[in-house]
Amino acid sequence: MALSGKRILLIISGGIAAYKSLDLIRRLRERGASVRPVMTSGAQEFVTPLAVGALAADHVFTDLFSRQDEQDVGHIRLARDCDLVLIAPATADLLAKMANGLADDLASTVLLATDRPVLAAPAMNPRMWAHPATRRNVATLAADGIRMIGPMAGEMAESREAGVGRMAEPLEIVAAAEALLDDGPKPLAGRKAVVTSGPTHEPIDPVRYIANRSSGRQGHAIAAALAKLGADVTLVSGPVTIPDPAGVKTIHVERAEEMRDAVLAALPADIAVMVAAVADWRVASAADQKIKKHPGESIPTLALTENPDILKTVGHHTMRPKIVVGFAAETQDVESNAKTKLERKGADMIVANDVSPATGIMGGTRNSVKLISRAGIDQWPDMAKEDVAEKLAALIAERLRQG
């Protein structure tokens, strides 16, 4: 609903991912937004203004010094007569221009002249994204209040290189735009939340690790839902393949100990929701070098040691958040295990789910949970993980309101 009736100025710059912007225009318009396109000259090497204009059902703006366009709309009005400026793809070049305040073509001039929120979906070769110059520019833009969605990890369209640099998918960009334009109630404004999500990877040696099937979908959705209600959210994520939620500060970690450190660094907070599937054990002494297989030698055994219990640490901390929620992924005795957990961990609520393989919950998109609190047990119907997240966020907001 957030996009219905919204005017989006879509700036397309010159990257191979420009082909995805055609689909992005459709997705935005399907949701009731109008799309006014601006294309750099680079962008026109990848997709034609004809295709962009036809899909957007609007004039495509390309030239700063077009007498006609300047008379009809003008670059300043173009920059202001919209609810959101969306850049997809955002090239390394355009990010560099923005970070330095350059205005030497229509796109960069509009970006310097706008007073609207700006959301950029960067797309570039992983080396370009990792380059210190791009790192500096991205940090500058973040400080200037420019929002980013992606780039994602994966294979590049134009080369066989993999790494971080692929543009977010159109629907991920749409979700980020929706989150940014959402003007619903904000009962969690002024509240701080810390959320964990995903699995942890516990190294065995430099190339092997112990992991689990957690996808991060539920934890990420909860972080997004809390942010949507106005909370200032820090998400501490284990290794996942899904994008960082929009409007949330995401910290990426691998191991349980790193996750604990990042969570404690995010305190004080009003809300803690510990969703991550943290490995209970790690390898007692991970090898520095790859463990080699030698014919005839005995098979190595792994000695494990206990990992920190992050939920329990937070639940008993001197800076314990007002509301502490834990997740219990069980495959048997779901209720009784969750009840024990509530007490032992110092949590206010435990969201228990049965993650037996037959349920398809772990790694899947739906969830069927029981909410266990001191007030009792509430079985929620089977629903999408996003809906579980929204319901839980609303419940947290209500509890905080009641004090």
Ligand X SMILES: Cc1cc2nc3c(=O)[nH]c(=O)nc-3n(C[C@H](O)[C@H](O)[C@H](O)COP(=O)(O)O)c2cc1C
Active site residues: 212
- What is the CA angle 78-116-63, rounded to 5? 25
Question: Considering only residues 43, 231, 248, 274, which one is a binding residue for ligand X as defined by CB under 6 A?
Answer: 43
Sign, CA torsion 392/393/394/395: positive
State which of residues 22, 42, 73, 153 lies at the interface with ligand X (CB under 6 A).
Answer: 42
Least distance between ligand X and beta carbon 170 (Å): 16
- Select 131 or 249, whichever has its Cβ closest to ligand X: 131
16 binds ligand X (CB under 6 A): yes
Q: What are phi and psi of 283, to 5 degrees?
A: -70, 130
Of 90-98, 186-194, 235-243, 260-268, the window that binds ligand X (rule: CB under 6 A) is: 90-98
Q: For residues 262 and 251, is the Cβ–Cβ distance under 8 A?
A: yes
Q: Does 123 bind ligand X (CB under 6 A)?
A: yes
Beta strand residue intervals within 284-361, DSSP E = 304-306, 323-330, 349-354
String of contacts with ligand X for each residue 148-167, x by CB under 6 A: ----------x---------
40 belongs to the binding site for ligand X (CB under 6 A): yes
For tokens 């809906």, the residue is 387
Any contact of residue 49 with ligand X (CB under 6 A)?
A: no
Task: Tell the smallest beta-carbon distance from residue 20 to ligand X (Å).
Answer: 11
Rounded Cα distance, 59 and 346, in Å: 59
* 188 contacts ligand X (rule: CB under 6 A): no
Residue from 58, 63, 70, 93 touching ligand X (CB under 6 A): that is 93
- In the region spanning residues 304 to 343, those forming contacts with ligand X, defined by CB under 6 A, are none
What is the C-alpha separation between 107 and 79, in angstroms, rounded? 9
Provide the pairing of β-strand 152-155 with 162-166: antiparallel
Contacting ligand X (CB under 6 A), which of 60, 79, 124, 253? 124
**Given the rule CB under 6 A, which of 37-45, 185-193, 224-232, 311-319 is the region that contacts ligand X?**
37-45
Q: Which of 297, 291, 301, 201 is nearest to 252 (CA)?
A: 201
Helix, coil or strand: residue 330: strand
What is the residue-wise DSSP string for 3-39? TTT-EEEEEE-SSTTHHHHHHHHHHHHHTT-EEEEEE
Q: In angstroms, rounded to a whole number, what is the distance separating the alpha carbons of residues 156 and 127?
A: 11
- Measured CA to CA, the distance from residue 182 to residue 3 in angstroms comes to 8
Which of 277, 279, 262, 310 is closest to 202 using CA atoms? 279
For 25-52, b/e burial (b = at least 16 CB within 10 A) is: bebbbebebbbbbbbbebbbebbebeeb
- The single residue among 2, 8, 14, 369 that binds ligand X, judged by CB under 6 A, is 14
What x/- string results for residues 214 through 253 when contact with ligand X is judged by CB under 6 A? ----------------------------------------
Would you say 133 or 377 has its CB closer to ligand X? Answer: 133
Q: How far is the CB of 14 from ligand X (least distance, A)?
A: 3
Window contacting ligand X (CB under 6 A); options: 13-21, 54-62, 316-324, 380-388: 13-21
User: What DSSP letter does each residue of 345-356 carry, written as one string?
Assistant: HT-SEEEEEE--
Q: Identify the residue among 21, 62, 91, 212 touching ligand X (CB under 6 A).
A: 91
Determine the interface stretch with ligand X among 11-19, 184-192, 220-228, 257-265 (rule: CB under 6 A).
11-19
Single out the segment in contact with ligand X by CB under 6 A; choices: 12-20, 256-264, 341-349, 353-361.
12-20
Query: Which amino acid is it at 226?
Result: L
> Can you count the helices (H) and strands (E) in the chain?
14, 21
For residues 99 to 118, the per-residue mask of contacts with ligand X, x marking binding by CB under 6 A and - elsewhere, is: --------------------
State which of residues 10, 15, 279, 283 lies at the interface with ligand X (CB under 6 A): 15
Tell which one of 2, 9, 38, 92 touches ligand X (CB under 6 A).
92
Min separation Cβ 15 and ligand X, Å: 3
Q: How many CB atoms lie within 10 A of CB 293?
A: 8
- Measured from the CB atom, is 132 or 403 closer to ligand X? 132
Binding site for ligand X (CB under 6 A): 13-17, 40, 42-43, 91-94, 123-124, 128, 158
